[in-house]
Structure 1
Amino acid sequence: MKIGLYFGTFNPVHIGHLIIANHIAEHTDLDQVWMVVTPHNPHKKKSSLLDDRHRLEMVHLATEEYDNIRPSDIEFSLPQPNYTVNTLVHLYEKYPMHDFALIMGEDNLCSLHKWKNYEVLLQNHDIYVYPRISDRKPSEELASHPKVHYVGAPVIEISSTFIRDNVKEGKNIKPLLPLKVWEYIDHNLFYKK
C-alpha cells in the first residue's frame, strides 16, 4: 500500500486541509493519506499550540467520514523536536509492508534543501506537491526531480492562524471548519484568548 504523509500541527484542522488531502487521495496513485499531527514544529511557537491530544481528536473528527484519509499520532512517541527523516525510519520499522511518500505545499518544496538529510528523502520517497500562492519558486533542480510530482490541487488560502485570530475576535468561522471540529472548538472554548 502506498501512503502519503501530510504533516502539520493542524491547530486547528480546517476545510483547506481536507480539500488538499482528499484531492491528493483521489487524484494520485496513493492508496491513503495519513494526516500526521506534529507535536511541535521547531519553526512554530509551542505556546500557540493546543495540546497534542486535542489536535489529534480534531483530525479524527474531521476525517472519520473519509475512507482513504486517516489521522496519525506516529510522531507523538518520537523525541522532540523531530525530523521527517526520523519519522520515516520509524514508520518503515513499524509498517514494512507500506511505501511512504511525502505531501507538501510548493512553499515547503522551496526550503526542502534546509531539511535534515533532505537528499535521503529525495532519493527514497516520492514527494507530491500541491500549489500555493507565493512569489518563491523551488529551484529547477528540485522542481524537475524525478521523485517530485506536482498535483493540480485547488489553491487554498485558509490558514489555521486566520481561524484562531478570528475565533479570538468573536467572528463566525463555522464555514471554514468541518462541523464536528467547529463544535469541538466551541464546546471547549479553544482559541478564545
Structure 2
Amino acid sequence: MKIGLYFGTFNPIHAGHLIIANHMAEHSDLDQIWMVVTPHNPHKKKSTLLDDRHRLQMVHLATEDYDTIRPSDIEFSLPQPNYTVNTLVHLLEKYPMHQFSLIMGEDNLNSLHKWKNYEVLLANHDIYVYPRINSAVADATLLANPKIHRIEAPVIEISSTFIRNNIKQGKNVQPLLPQKVWAYIDHNLFYKK
C-alpha cells in the first residue's frame, strides 16, 4: 500500500489540511494519507503547542468520516526533537509492507536542502508537492527529479496561527474548522489566552 505522510503540529487541524489530504487521496496514486501529529517541530517553540493528546484527538475527530485519511501518533514514541528521516526509518521497520511518501507544500520543498539527511529522503521516498501562494517556484532541477510529484491541488491559505489568534480575539472561526474540532476547542476553551 502506498501511504502519503502529511506531517504537522495540527495546532489545530483545520479545513485546509483536510482539503489537501483529501485531494492527495483522490488525485494521486496514494492509497491512504496518514496525518502525522508531530509532538515537537524542531523549528517551533514547544510552548506554543497544545498538549500532544489534544492535538491527536482533534485529528481523530477531523478524519473519522474519511476512509482514506487516518491520524498517526507514530512520532510520539520517538526521541524529541525528531526528524522526518528518523520517522521514516521507524515506519519502514514497523510497516515493511507499505511504501511511504511525503506530502509537503512548495514552501517546504524549497527548504528541503536544509532538512536532516534530505538526500536520503529524496533517494528513497516520493515527495508529493502542493502549491502555496506565497512560495517561490521550486528549483527546476529539483522539480525535474522523478521522485518529486507536483500535484495541482487547491491553493489553501488558512493557517493554524491565524485561527489561534482569531479565537484569542473572540472572532468566529467555525467555517475554518471541522465541526467536531470546533466543538472540542470551544468545550475545552483552547486558544482563548
1:189 & 1:24 partners in 2: Cα distance? 32
Offset from partner CA, 1:134-180 (integer Å, 9 cap, x none): 24232222121110000011000000000000000000000000000
Is 1:51 the equivalent of 2:51? yes
Is residue 107–residue 135 contact of structure 2 (8 Å, CA) maintained in 1?
A: no
Where does residue 106 of structure 1 map in the other structure? Answer: 106
In the aligned structure 2, how far is the partner of 1:109 from the partner of 1:138?
7
How is 1:34-73 mapped onto 2 (pairs within 5 angstroms)?
Answer: 34-73=34-73
Map 1:13-162 → 2, pairs under 5 A: 13-162=13-162
Q: Flag structure 1 segments of 5+ consecutive residues without an equivalent.
A: none
CA distance in 1, matches of 2:60, 2:47: 23
Cα distance in 1 for partners of 2:78, 2:49 equals 18
Q: 1:48 to 1:63 in 2, by over 3 A?
A: same
For structure 2, the 5+ residue unaligned runs are none
Cα distance in 1, alignment partners of residues 43 and 113 from structure 2? 15
Taking only the aligned residue pairs, the percentage that are identical comes to 81
Structure 2 letter corresponding to 1:89: V
Q: Please say if residues 166 and 172 of structure 2, whose CA atoms lie closer than 8 Å, have aligned partners that are also in contact.
A: yes
Matched, 1:10 2:16: no
Query: What SS does the aligned partner of 2:136 have?
Result: coil
- Structure 2 counterpart of 1:152, one-letter code: E
Task: Report the TM-score when normalising by structure 2.
Answer: 0.99
Name the Cα RMSD after superposition: 0.6
Q: How many residues align?
A: 193
1:95-151 CA-partner distances (Å, limit 9, x unpaired): 000000000000000000010111111111000000001242322221211100000
Name the SS of the counterpart of 1:156 in structure 2: coil
Segments ≥4 residues shifted beyond 6 Å = none
Code of the residue aligned with 1:147 in structure 2: it is K
Once residues 36 and 136 of structure 1 are traced to their aligned partners in structure 2, the CA distance between those partners, rounded to angstroms, is: 26
Q: 2-side partners of 1:122 and 1:169: how far apart?
A: 42
Report SS of the residue matched to 1:20: helix
Q: Match of 2:104, SS? A: strand
